Structure formats: structure tokens, C-alpha cells
Structure 1
Amino acid sequence: MTRVLVVDDEPQLVRSLVINLKARKYEVDSAQDGARALLAAAAGRPDVVLLDLGLPDMDGIEVIRQIRAWSRVPIVVLSARHGSGEKVEALDAGADDYVTKPFGMDELLARLAAATRRTRAQGGTSDDQVVVTTREFTIDLLAKRARRGGADIRLTPTEWHILEVLIRNRGRLVSQRHLLQEVWGSAYGTQTNYLRVYMAHLRRKLEADPSHPRHLITAPGMGYRFELPEA
């Protein structure tokens, strides 16, 4: 059974989440502040964390950073902060997804299920993760080989680097700033036009329908995600 840690200081929201999650056979723990959340995360070893950023004792960003120091448990942020800057900061700190309040329960449950499903899918060895096979293409990161429709596809070194960062974080939203700094260096963080150009190239080379990509997904104003959708 999947264990969820709900971290929020709004009692009514926590109560609603607990009722809805338990009705769907999740085990649920809760914490009302950052200090209790860190203790609960260490003691209970949840499978996923639902985390509000506006906690009474510390910013949720700091909770993310402290959990990330020792765990890769999926963290889905729940926040009333709508600005893209706050979203990017949470993603850079290590959050896996960001849901803006108020949210629909169906949307949250879908995000939660996706986060736990990705964790199970990533449970193999690192060797399992260097080869990605989809209906459209196959990527071998170790051999630096891409194939589509039985033919090799030539990718530039920069395209390979972008693809590798996204694939090794498959299912997770990688912020624009993080991707820029991973590929071009720490001096880069705002040149988002670079990413738009290279992502368009990658989609043309790999996606069956570049205008409606199934794998190289954009979260406008936030970043990019590599997905392996179910057939």
C-alpha cells in the first residue's frame, strides 16, 4: 500500500486530503509544519510527499532541500503561490511536480498516481535506464545511438546532453534554469530561447507528431519533462 505524507497547516484541507486518500486505499500521515514533516519523512519513509510551501515555521523550499539531502522520495508541491519564480525555485530545490491551489481532487490524485508510478518505473538499475524504447524511437545513452523507424538518427552533442538530462530525470519536471546550467554551464540560466530551439529540433527528429509531442513535454514558463506514456 502506498504511504503518503501530507504537509499543510490548513486543518480543513488536510482532513479532506486524508479522507480522499484513505478512500482510495492510500496510507496517510500528516504534519502541520516543517519540523514535524522532516521527522515524519525520516521515521515513516513515505512513498510520496504532498507539501505546502507556506508553513508556519519554515519555508517549504527548505523542507524540500533537507529531504533531498538524503531521499529521492517524490515531492508534489501544493501551493497558493502562482508566480513562475516560486515554481521554478521549488523544482530547482528538488520537487517533482507543482499543483497550484485551489486544485481539483481528481487532478491531484492523477498527479499523485503519476509520481508514484514513475518511482516504480525508475526502480531498476542504472543500466536499465540508459536504453529507452518507445513506439516511435529508441535511445541508447551509453552508445550515443538514436534510432527511429529502423534508421539511425544523428543528434548533435548538445541535443544528446539535453536528452540525457531529461531521460535521467524521466517523469520529473526539469526547470529551464537547471537544464540550461546542466548543458551550457553555471553562467547560463535565462537564455530560454536556446532551449526552445533545441527542443524543437529534438521533437522534429524523434516525435511522430512534433506539434503534439508524447515524450518531450513543455510546461510553459517552467521547464521540460521526458515522459513514457502508457500505450
Structure 2
Amino acid sequence: MSELNDQELLSSYEGSAAHDEGQDAEVSRLTIALPEPLKLGETEIASITLREPTLYEVITAAKQVKSFPNISPVEVMEAELELVRQVSGLSDAVFSRLPASVVRQARDYVVRFEEEARQRMAEQIEGWGDDLPAERTLAFSPSIPGGSQNWDSMSLRSPTVGQMRPAKALLKKPSLEALFRSDELLITAVSGWPKAAVLRLPISRYVEAAGYLNAFFPDGR
């Protein structure tokens, strides 16, 4: 699947189109061989290749979750399947033909980035206690494209009230998707990065940025 440009990415952000963010070759990937190749006409698919999901892909997958905060196991499964499908770059028709054993291995790989990042961030916030750093800079290699340039660092600080209110307003109708969108709006406002670049953040780096900014609020969000 070809990479979306900024306009296409921002347009599909309001819809549900799949997205390959075109990360650099330096990004670690996992290739899973299929027990038997899938035949698509004259083409054969013998493996799938995975990498860390982006914030955009996680937000799109979160649309599968309709119940909140009591999310049903079925909705969790559907969201995780959609995340794997997006990261793999496969169409719905091809993805539906994958063996469950392969999908489970793929699922374990793609979801661990966010899970492990949240655990690390929780430990870091606990270590900070009431002494949050006034500023924090995140470095990126490879850089993140967006807004006609590449971004290799993100400078963060305590959000202002004016930055906080629009982001938190999205939570008046709480949903899993709204939580991610609220964080995206806050990161965009504080960092000065264009929205397209923020949406391309690897999910683990999103957790770092959102975790730090939300730590300034009494409820941690």
C-alpha cells in the first residue's frame, strides 16, 4: 500500500482508510512466514511483515470499540485485528484468509509496543512524583515527516489552559477513540508539530509525549 501524503492522511483521519506511514528501513520489523502461501491470481503471499503501529493506525483501530469504558472482549479483538491488518498492509479480503495462529503471533507483536511503553511511562511518572520536569525533549531517529519537513525532536512543557480546554472538550463524550484524539490535539498544540507528523508518531513515542503532558493534570488525563 502506498504512503499517504499529508493531505490524504489528514482527510482519512476523519474516515477509516488504511494507512502505511512509510517508516524508514531503520525501523525494526518482524516477518512471519505463512504455513502455506496465499494465492491471489498469479501472485503468492508467503509472509507478512510488521512494524510498530503509528498513532493514526491505533486511532483508526479504536473505532472498532463502541462500548466504553466497559469494553467487550469482542470489541477488543476486533480492534486488535484491525490494527494488525493496517500494519501488515493487507486488504480485508487477504487478511481474512490468514491462519489464526499467524494473526495471534502478529497481534502479540503489534500490541506490545503500546503496552510496554505505558508500563515504562507509569514507572517514570511515579518516579517523578510531584517534581515533574518543566520541559522534556523527545528525539526521533528516523525523523518523522509532516508539514513538508522532517522532525527529529519534539519539545514539550506544561500545557496552558488554552491548550488544555479544546483537548479535554473531546472527552465530554468519552470513547476509546476520543481519548487518543484528545491526546493528539494536546501534543499538536504544545509541541508545535503539524498534525500529520503527530499522527505518524510510533505508538510508543506517543505514549511518552501524552504521558508527560497528562501528568500535569490532577487525574493524570
What TM-score, normalized to structure 2? 0.29
- More helix, by proportion: 2
| Higher RCO (Cα < 8 Å, 6 or more apart) | 2
